[in-house]
Amino acid sequence: MPQRVVFLDRDGVLNRAFPEGGTTRPPMSVAELELLPGVKDALARLRAAGFALVVVTNQPDVARGKQTRAAVEAINDTMRAELPLLDVFACYHDGPDKCMCRKPQPGMLLAAAAKHDLDLDSAFLIGDRWSDIVAAHAAGCAGVLIDTPFSNAERCNPDHRAADITGAANWILATIATATAARSAA
């Protein structure tokens, strides 16, 4: 039986992203990796509710020559060690590459679902950019947008908006509790 999943963007959702040039950049090394407040608790609550947790992250700085794949993988490995993650999927392409894995395309979500038998119909994605929400909807998932100055919320139609991962997790847990109660009453 497929398992329920919450997909998570990485930079700006789980860890601090650094403002730079009108947008943000990821941490460049494990030394720069800083989990955001509330992340460990929110993920523990989602895991306790039975969700698998899978990171899906665009890392175009590798294609742009600003970051190494080894540095990205070291950061991802550190996150796997510190957080209750089932897996981490990373796209190392840039927009002009036109790959199917780079969000807003749903490729990473579809690959994760195939690899781990995940239920996309009951899935959620928590992201901080319009492209996260578009990818979620393309894969059949609900999308929760964490509002930041760089979200470009006008380019998407999130199912919910939250200030941070705590608010996103609260909404997901309330949504499944309401659905469970409705099924029980039926």
pLDDT at site 64 = 95
Q: Which residue has the tokens 């309401």?
A: 178
What count of Cα atoms within 13 Å lies in the side-chain half-sphere of residue 52? 21
The percent of residues above 70 in pLDDT, for the chain, comes to 100
pLDDT of 114 above 80: yes
* Closest listed residue to residue 7, CA positions, set 136, 121, 128, 175: 136
Three-class SS state of 12: coil
Domain with 157 in it: what CATH number? 3.40.50.1000
The percent of residues above 90 in pLDDT, for the chain, comes to 90
Q: What is the CA radius of gyration of the chain?
A: 16
Please name every residue paired with 90 in a beta bridge, in sequence order, or none if there are none: 57
Annotated catalytic residues are 9, 11
Q: Give the C-alpha separation, 53 to 3, whole Å.
A: 10
pLDDT at site 159 = 98
**Per-residue pLDDT tens digits for 63-72:** 999 999 999 9
Pairing outcome for strands 160-162 and 142-146: parallel
- pTM (2 decimals)? 0.96
Measured at the CA of 139, the angle between CA 180 and CA 85, to 5 degrees, comes to: 70
Q: Give the C-alpha separation, 110 to 113, whole Å.
A: 5
What DSSP element (H or E) covers 169?
helix 165-185
Residue 61: domain span: 5-185
pLDDT mean over 159-179: 96
Three-class SS state of 56: strand
Name the token pair of 49. 């509710």
Q: What is the mean pLDDT of the chain?
A: 96
- DSSP label of 30: G
**Per-residue pLDDT tens digits for 24-43:** 999 999 999 999 999 999 99
pLDDT of 186 above 80: no
Instruction: Count the domains in the chain.
Output: 1
pLDDT at site 1 = 80
**Per-residue pLDDT tens digits for 58-98:** 999 999 999 999 999 999 999 999 999 999 999 999 989 99
User: What one-letter code names the amino acid at 94?
Assistant: D
